[in-house]
Structure 1
Amino acid sequence: MSLKQFKQKALNNPEIRKEYDALQEEFSLIDQLITMRTKADLTQEDVARKLGTNKSNISRLERGRSNPSWRTLNRYAAACGFRVKLEAIEDDRASA
């Protein structure tokens, strides 16, 4: 069974689907961080150097293994030539 097939089969389980869906926002943030860095043609080491930190901290941030502050997200984005924008979206699940 391929990973894609395994994932599809697992997501047919309502409990697993619920947990997976709950992580979508985190996955999206991670994807955006990596996209900013790659569009800026920077390595993790480059970003770390610009922020005055270690590459391991950037790696942890991009893997979702940390809980970054708003300041950290802003500094990361600025190092890549971007800025962070917060957007409020009504949660349909809250009203259900």
Structure 2
Amino acid sequence: MTERPSLKEMRAKALKNPEVKAEYDALASAFEMKRQMIALRKAAGLTQEEMAEKLGTKRSNISRLESMSASNSPSIATIENYARVLGYSLRVGFEPAAAR
């Protein structure tokens, strides 16, 4: 019986493909922002339901906001409100694109 590759091994193999790597890199900042949002919410001891209540919205909207598979991007105002409820402010900046 063949051992299944780990997620880390599958990721390393996939990232050897230049097209996959380019897409992965393009999504890196959005993924990191959403990872931070979830971590901050959990550190505050809030469920998605509780976060939704504080923001005056539904839990499904918080789920969509924190999801990488959402088809639309949240507005900066929405992210600012999310941060504010958790006692944070949003900082946005620009970086030079990596040489291709």
TM-score normalised over the length of structure 1: 0.87
Residue 15, structure 1, aligned to residue 19, structure 2: yes
Quote the Cα distance in structure 1 between the aligned partners of 2:96 and 2:22: 19
User: When the two structures are aligned, how many residues end up with a matched partner?
Assistant: 94
What's 2:57 paired with?
Answer: 53
**Cα distance in 2, alignment partners of residues 2 and 92 from structure 1:** 29
**How far, CA to CA, are the matches of 2:19 and 2:93 in structure 1?**
28
Please state if 1:31 is matched with 2:32: no
- CA separation in 1, counterparts of 2:58 and 2:75? 17
Percent identity, please: 44
Which structure carries more helix by proportion? 1
The question of 1:76 aligning with 2:82 is answered: yes
Matched AA of 1:85: R
Report how far residue 7 of structure 1 moved. Answer: 1.2
Distance 1:57 1:88, change over 3 A: same
Q: Which residue of 1 aligns with 2:8?
A: 4
Q: Offset at 1:79?
A: 1.3
Q: Which has the higher contact order (CA 8 A, sep 6+)?
A: 1
* Residue-by-residue CA offset, 1:56-76 (whole Å, 9 max, x unaligned): 100111013141111101111
- Structure 1 stretches lacking a partner, 5+ long: none
| TM-score, reference length from structure 2 | 0.84
Unaligned runs of 5+ in 2: none
